[in-house]
Amino acid sequence: MINREVVTDIVHWSERTFSFRTTRNYPNKFNNGEFTMIGLETDKKNIMRAYSIASANHENFLEFLSIKLDKGPLTSKLQKIKIGDEILIQDKSTGTLVIDYLKPGRNLYLLSTGTGLAPFISIIKDPLTYERFNKVVLTHTVPDSSQLAYLEELTLFNKRWDIITNNNFTYFNTLTRAPWDNIGRITQWVKEDRLHKAIKFEPINPQLDRFMVCGSLDFNKELIEYFSHIGLSEGNTSTQGEYLVEKAFVEK
């Protein structure tokens, strides 16, 4: 069934990305990290696409992060929404990026590019995430700083969400096309064993640490190959693994 929710807030992070919130009459309780189909009614037709739910399942609103595409059948129209507009949201959700699908481990690394950040925004707000892992690291890689969505919130996340995180959350970002403190693709930071040094953690241990991946197709493929090479098993909705990748869609 498709529900109708009303847009209550919009943030245009850059010329390329924006996020929006809606009311939540949504009947689905969903798991943090899952995605659903959302869309708009145009010329009496519903245009629907898969979007990760960025809000946590305990919040009283729904939130989504999107890119802007002038020629996209949905995004070309979605980027022009206004407060008070209606969004169509399917009442079912699914997805691989759910902590239940990971084997127990030490630290959890959430690796994202672009709008692949969205499912991890919900996961880092989940108290169960910090009960199951000692530390949680969220990385976000984009071309330039204007595309670092939620930058202030993530930078201050431990302070604002200390009851949940107990100061065990770490945020780390990199840029690929502009000057910044941390330059380069996060895949290289991981593969070259530089990430743990930058965040002053113990070295990543394939036997102990767990990973979630969400981003561009090339980004996902590169990390799948790397994790497979170092002997990690991929989890899914039926079998727990050392790492998870959302394959249903890549950056929209």
Encode the chain (252 residues) as per-residue pLDDT tens digits. 999 999 999 999 999 999 999 999 999 999 999 999 999 998 889 999 999 999 999 999 999 999 999 988 999 999 999 999 999 999 999 999 999 999 999 999 999 999 999 999 999 999 999 999 999 999 999 999 999 999 999 999 999 999 999 999 999 999 999 999 999 999 999 999 999 999 999 999 999 999 999 999 999 999 999 999 999 999 999 999 999 999 876 444
Q: What is the pLDDT of residue 249?
A: 61
pTM of the model: 0.96
Q: What is the pLDDT of residue 229?
A: 96
Residues in the chain: 252
Per-residue three-class SS string for 176-243: CCCCCCCECCHHHHHHCCCHHHHCCCCCCCCCCCEEEEECCHHHHHHHHHHHHHCCCCECCCCCCECE
Q: What is the pLDDT of residue 43?
A: 82
CA 82 to chain centre: 24
CATH numbers and ranges of domains, the chain? 2-93 (2.40.30.10), 99-245 (3.40.50.80)
Q: What is the pLDDT of residue 42?
A: 87
Q: Which tens digits make up the pLDDT trace of 57-83?
A: 999 999 999 999 998 899 999 999 999
Tokens standing for 252? 């929209």
Q: What is the pLDDT of residue 252?
A: 40
Instruction: With CA atoms as reference, report the closest residue to 169 among 207, 210, 199, 211.
Output: 199
Distances (CA, A) of 152 to 94, 120, 125, 141: 29, 16, 15, 15
Q: What is the pLDDT of residue 250?
A: 46
Instruction: With CA atoms as reference, report the closest residue to 190 among 156, 170, 219.
Output: 219
